[in-house]
Chain A
């Protein structure tokens, strides 16, 4: 796993760890040492852009599982470009995130929307590989392009 992926993974783990420590905002509620709710984890670009947000992951619940895995409910992942513009919003009702391998997957539904909201891709069953930044939807893929999306795709 490359350094970039490690950075990302560590960031997320750190974010979750912070949640468990109840350091984040008042939204975080601890129901026990292995349960966090309404969490948010922020990832930053690598130097020299370390001040810029690369992505924000949030969820309604994070339930740690054996083997370094987390069950995340109501996942929402937003990615940003270096200009700070929203590129994508990824949403899933539930997924399993393996903090050791840096992968997330679910047999459930996934929805991806571009920053301008004009392009939506959805499907069932997905795998997100953080190390190489690849997202796969394995079933029933449908993309919808709203009118006007052909002119400018910059988020």
Chain B
């Protein structure tokens, strides 16, 4: 009811887009509002939890997400939301630091937010079956678990378990197909880094 979950989604969008175009010290550039559509919405005032169900669609200027259910928790004391779960056919389209579109899919995405000692930690974890994957112009990367994490301005992506990569020479042309535990995507510009941890997480 409080609609706090919307803020969680906003946080998710903020994680996905690392490129900052604002001049330090300058006021943030105006953004279009974020929209969330769904067939139904259930809010628990006591539990501070909102549930968007069926045909959930998040439209943000820098990120789009679709899923079948989205559950958001709000700290009882107020403040920034700290946990959101998107489930069933999760699709996230976002832009990276280079302005490149990425298409991520998974069965479940969990967003968490923590702030401690002036350090902000944000993660988005994709899991589920079929195996989560990220596709962009360079290729496809997949793993049992895909984790975007950000600590203040530094962020990176990890692929954990059964890593799989397909690189494209150019859009639509497959160049390599490997399951080897190679380090990938070092072409991403700092501060975002990508690493492959080809280990099981179970």
Contact = CB atoms under 8 A, between A and B. Distances in A.
A153 B4 contact: yes
Nearest to A85: B78
A136 B41 contact: yes
A47 B14 CA distance: 41
Interface stretch (B29-37, B85-93, B98-106): B29-37
Interface residues of B, number: 35
Contact of A141 (B4, B9, B41, B46): B41
B172 interface: no
Interface string A39-59: 000000000000000000000
Contact of B7 (A81, A132, A133, A150): A150
Given A90-B1, A152-B80, A143 B6 contact: yes
Contacts of B28: 147-148
Contacts of A81: 78
Interface in B1-16: 1-7, 9-11, 14
Contact of A145 (B1, B2, B6, B74): B6
B168 interface: no
Interface in A104-155: 112-114, 119-121, 123, 132-155
A145 B78 contact: no
Contacts of B40: 123, 136-139, 141
A114 B74 CA distance: 13
A153 B35 contact: no
Interface in B145-159: none
Among the interface residues B10, B14, B30, B81, which one has the most CB atoms of the partner chain A within 10 A?
Answer: B10
Contact of A154 (B14, B30, B38, B78): B78
B4 to A, nearest CB: 5
A114 B2 CA distance: 6
Interface of B: 1-7, 9-11, 14, 28, 30-46, 52, 74, 78-81
7 contacts: A114-B3, A133-B46, A134-B43, A146-B33, A150-B11, A152-B79, A153-B2
Given A112-B3, A138-B40, 20 more contacts: A79-B45, A88-B2, A90-B1, A119-B3, A119-B4, A121-B41, A134-B42, A134-B43, A136-B42, A137-B42, A139-B40, A140-B39, A142-B37, A145-B6, A145-B9, A147-B32, A147-B33, A149-B6, A150-B7, A153-B4
